[in-house]
């Protein structure tokens, strides 16, 4: 079958270009919504993957209760567009951050802005800032389910922090939250599933411990794209926060979380040179494809993306504007050809482009601006 971009003539395309197959995107969003409905969990997708209002609007239409982001700058642009419930799932530390958080709350008084806490000191600073403004901030206690990044350990340490937070005026405790990013380093789909089971179990057990101590009714929020179908199906989990699932990418394919066909985001690139029979150069380099060899710092992938329809080609190195690709000496690829690449990690690819070119099933094109691009603060 012709690739979608081939519905247009080759000359219509300027390259490199980040394209999204609308049909695949919708299928990914609908499949996650159906999963959530089946298991009675709310979806609060992480928008760092797409940073695009149009895609969040599709997620909302499919039932998302709000969004997750990492940065106040991301929260700001989505609130400006009308988001009503935003979770900044990152420890907000320092007076500048707290000023910006409360300035956002003042600008969008109708919206709910939630965040996370992972230590008594950080929680106390947030609480004090909220009290001094006569506000109450909804917060999750962030639990470390194995990533060893931020978060308090599950069980007694998490329960202790919950009780501290409960006593702090200015904070309203929502529940327990974790992100099993260590699943990206798993060696097999079975290990991904084990990590997903553990991700949910450690929160459910902590909540049960707290219920015994009289703290009931806590929400439980889990979710990374590889683990969510296991952790999100565990009874007592109430909310899931997958991000990458809207696009998927070569990392998810390698982990067994998606097939290449489900990957909705691709980079369209042109062959600009074939200096040797076995080597071509494409116009997508590190400034388009990003340098990840996996997510969360893993380097499980051999090349810098999968070239659709050329399984034997390896994108072996990137400089800023060039990709150097090994091909078979008798490959029919010629200078001027267009190639479609499934990148290793879709999220940083989006953060490197101003807009996404969205291709409908009938070849219609739309341009969606990446509104939260570069919002690193």
Q: Would you tell me which residues interact with ligand PLP (CB under 6 A)?
A: 46, 49, 68, 89, 179, 181, 223-225, 241-245
Residue 89 or 159: the one with the smaller Cβ distance to ligand PLP is 89
Cα gap 191→200, rounded to integer Å: 15
Shortest Å distance, C-beta 252 to ligand PLP? 8
Cα distance between residue 39 and residue 33, in whole Å = 10
Nearer to ligand PLP, 243 or 285 (CB): 243
Distance of CA 217 to CAs 207, 209, 236, Å?
Answer: 9, 12, 10
Residue closer to ligand PLP, measured from CB, 240 or 281: 240
3-state SS string for 98-163: HHHHHHHHHHCCCCEEEEEECCHHHHHHHHHHHHHCCCCEEEEEEECCCCCCCCECCCHHHHHHHH
Nearest to 296 by CA among 191, 91, 152, 148: 148
Smallest gap from Cβ 352 to ligand PLP, in A, equals: 17
CB of 224 to ligand PLP, least distance (A): 3
Residue 192 or 356: the one with the smaller Cβ distance to ligand PLP is 192
For ligand PLP, the closer CB: 6 or 188: 188
Query: Half-sphere exposure of residue 297, counting CA atoms within 13 Å on the CB side?
Result: 4
Among residues 108 and 245, whose Cβ is nearest to ligand PLP? 245
| CA count, 13 A, side-chain hemisphere, 263 | 28
Residue 55, CB-side half-sphere exposure with 13 Å CA sphere: 37
How many other CB atoms sit within 10 Å of the CB of residue 319? 11
How many of the other CB atoms lie within 10 Å of CB of 21?
24
Task: With CA atoms as reference, report the closest residue to 147 among 114, 185, 177, 116.
Answer: 185
Shortest Å, Cβ 104 to ligand PLP: 19
Q: What is the DSSP letter of 46?
A: B
Tokens of 193: 């599933």
* Nearer residue to ligand PLP within complex by CB, 17 or 225: 225
8 Å CB contact between 279 and 375: no
Structure tokens at 77: 């642009």
Least distance from ligand PLP to the Cβ atom of residue 149, Å: 8
Alpha carbon distance 220, 144 (integer Å): 13
Task: Pick between residue 315 and residue 347 the one whose CB is nearest to ligand PLP.
Answer: 347
CB of 228 to ligand PLP, least distance (A): 7
Task: Tell me how far, at minimum, the Cβ of 283 lies from ligand PLP, in Å.
Answer: 28
Min CB(49)–ligand PLP separation in Å: 6
Q: For ligand PLP, which is the closer residue by CB, 204 or 307? A: 204
Minimum CB separation from ligand PLP for residue 269, in Å?
24
């Amino acid at each position: 079958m012709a690739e979608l971009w081939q519905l247009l003539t080759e000359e219509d395309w300027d390259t490199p270009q980040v394209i999204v197959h609308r049909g695949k995107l919708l299928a990914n969003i609908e499949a996650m919504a159906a999963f959530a409905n089946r298991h009675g969990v709310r979806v609060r997708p992480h928008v760092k993957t797409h940073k695009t209002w149009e895609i969040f609007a599709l997620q909302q239409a499919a039932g998302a209760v709000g969004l997750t982001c990492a940065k106040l700058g991301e929260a700001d642009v989505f609130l400006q567009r009308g988001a009503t419930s935003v979770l900044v799932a990152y420890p907000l530390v320092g007076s500048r951050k707290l000023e910006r958080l409360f300035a956002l709350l003042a600008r969008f008084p109708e919206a709910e802005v939630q965040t996370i806490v992972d230590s008594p000191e950080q929680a106390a600073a947030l609480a004090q800032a909220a009290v001094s403004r006569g506000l109450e901030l909804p917060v999750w206690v962030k639990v470390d389910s194995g990533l060893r990044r931020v978060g308090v350990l599950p069980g007694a340490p998490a329960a202790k922090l919950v009780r501290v937070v409960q006593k702090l005026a200015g904070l309203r405790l929502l529940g327990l939250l974790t992100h099993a990013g260590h699943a990206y380093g798993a060696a097999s789909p079975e290990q991904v599933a084990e990590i997903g089971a553990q991700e949910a179990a450690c929160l459910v057990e902590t909540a049960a411990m707290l219920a015994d101590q009289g703290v009931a009714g806590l929400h439980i929020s889990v979710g990374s794209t590889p683990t969510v179908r296991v952790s999100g199906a565990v009874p007592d989990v109430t909310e899931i926060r997958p991000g990458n699932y809207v696009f998927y990418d070569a990392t998810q394919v390698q982990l067994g979380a998606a097939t290449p066909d489900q990957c909705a985001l691709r980079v369209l690139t042109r062959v600009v040179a074939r200096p040797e029979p076995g080597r071509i150069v494409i116009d997508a380099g590190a400034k388009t494809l990003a340098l990840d060899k996996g997510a969360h710092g893993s380097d499980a992938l051999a090349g810098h993306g999968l070239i659709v329809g050329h399984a034997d080609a390896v994108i072996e190195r990137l400089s800023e504007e060039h990709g150097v690709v090994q091909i078979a000496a008798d490959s029919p690829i010629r200078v001027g050809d267009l190639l479609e690449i499934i990148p290793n990690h879709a999220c940083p690819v989006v953060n490197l482009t101003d807009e996404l070119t969205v291709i409908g099933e009938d070849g219609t094109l739309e341009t969606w601006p990446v509104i939260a691009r570069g919002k690193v603060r």
